[in-house]
Amino acid sequence: MAAKKKTTPTKNNSKPTKKKENLTFWGKVKKFLFKLFIWFNVISIALVILFKFVPVPFTPLMIVRAFEHKADGKEMVCSHDWVPLEDISMNLQKAVVASEDGMFMKHNGFDFSAMNKAMNSNLKGKKLKGGSTISQQTAKNVFLWQGRSYFRKALEAYYTVLIELIWGKKRIMEVYLNSIEMGDGVYGAEAASRHWFHKSAKNLTKYEAASIAAILPSPRKYKAINSSSYVERRKSKTLRVMRHVGKLNY
């Protein structure tokens, strides 16, 4: 009888192939949105950390206003001179607190009492009021565009929380007073002081500081000098409230 050949089992060295990821359309959308969310948070936090130490060179509003000037056939003007908070008169710091946000040193970015009053005023059909704090205005001016959509307000709240946590009150006030619109093509305390009173922001008197603070609701419409009766009343009110603004212990 013929001897049977022994057969040795052959080893299968081929690795199991991975199944290709087969995402549906909505799966791809969710994956994209998740990545977008991560990158947005990384970039936004990085910018907030950067601007804690570095002067804000320009804001979205400055760019928008420049193009508006161009569209209107005007010269594209953007007067903006960054100075440290120590070179901005304490009178102006107190004036904007008195005029814009009396609870600035006490709240954590949001004045819910003022927001509630503004909402009730709007529901009654009275003149639209925002109830925004200095922190909220700073977040909007530096990182966002102008507008009243809920999406923008949500982003404003997000950035407000970030700057309150990372910057603190002193830096928020410094950025606010160096970035806010204080005239047509005029941004920040130093440029505004020279534009309206031909002097440095460090040397502003109480009345001059109140005059600048009084026009902040509509700085392109109102004038800090040769003002309308409405602005003069706002100046007087700001001066009265300034007397009760205590020391700003940042």
Residue 66: inside a domain, yes or no?
A: no
Q: What's the mean per-residue pLDDT of the chain?
A: 88
> What pLDDT does residue 18 have?
47
pLDDT exceeds 50 at position 35:
yes
Residue 149 lies in a domain: yes
Say which CATH number the domain at 173 has.
Answer: 1.10.3810.10
| 16: in domain | no
From its phi and psi, is residue 111 left (phi > 0), alpha (psi between -120 and 50) or beta? Answer: beta
Looking at residues 62-91, what average pLDDT do you find? 91
Residue 108 lies in a domain: yes
Percent of the chain with pLDDT over 70: 86
Domain membership flag for residue 69: no
**Confidence category of residue 82, pLDDT binned at 50, 70, 90:** very high
**What percent of the chain lies above the pLDDT cut of 90?**
69
Question: Which one has a higher pLDDT value, 211 or 17?
Answer: 211
Mean pLDDT to the nearest integer, 224-236: 96
The SS3 of residue 121 is helix
Q: Give the three-state DSSP class for 226.
A: coil
pLDDT at residue 29, rounded to an integer: 84
The helix or strand, by DSSP H or E, that contains position 189, with its residue range, turns out to be: helix 189-197
* DSSP H or E stretch at residue 187: strand 186-187
In whole angstroms, give the CA distance from residue 89 to residue 80.
Answer: 17
User: Shortest CA distance to 157 belongs to which of 129, 180, 137, 172?
Assistant: 137
Domain that holds residue 141: 78-242
Pairing of strands 181-183, 186-187: antiparallel
Position 12 in a domain: no
Q: Give the count of beta carbons closer than 10 Å to the beta carbon of residue 191.
A: 21
Q: How confident is the model at residue 112 (pLDDT cuts 50, 70, 90)?
A: confident
Tell whether 126 is covered by a domain. yes
- Cα diameter, the chain: 126
pLDDT of residue 19: 45
Asked if 190 and 62 count as a contact pair (C-beta separation under 8 A), the reply is no
Q: Residue type for 66, please?
A: A
Assess if residue 39 is contained within a domain: no
State how many domains the chain has.
Answer: 1
As given in the structure block, the two tokens for residue 158 are: 């997000």
Cα distances (Å, whole numbers) of residue 37 to 41, 42, 122, 161, 182 = 6, 9, 33, 17, 34
Please check whether residue 162 is in contact with residue 46, taking contact to mean a CB–CB distance below 8 angstroms. Answer: no
Instruction: Pick the closest to residue 84 from 164, 226, 241, 200 (CA basis).
Output: 200
Mean pLDDT (whole number) for 132-149: 93
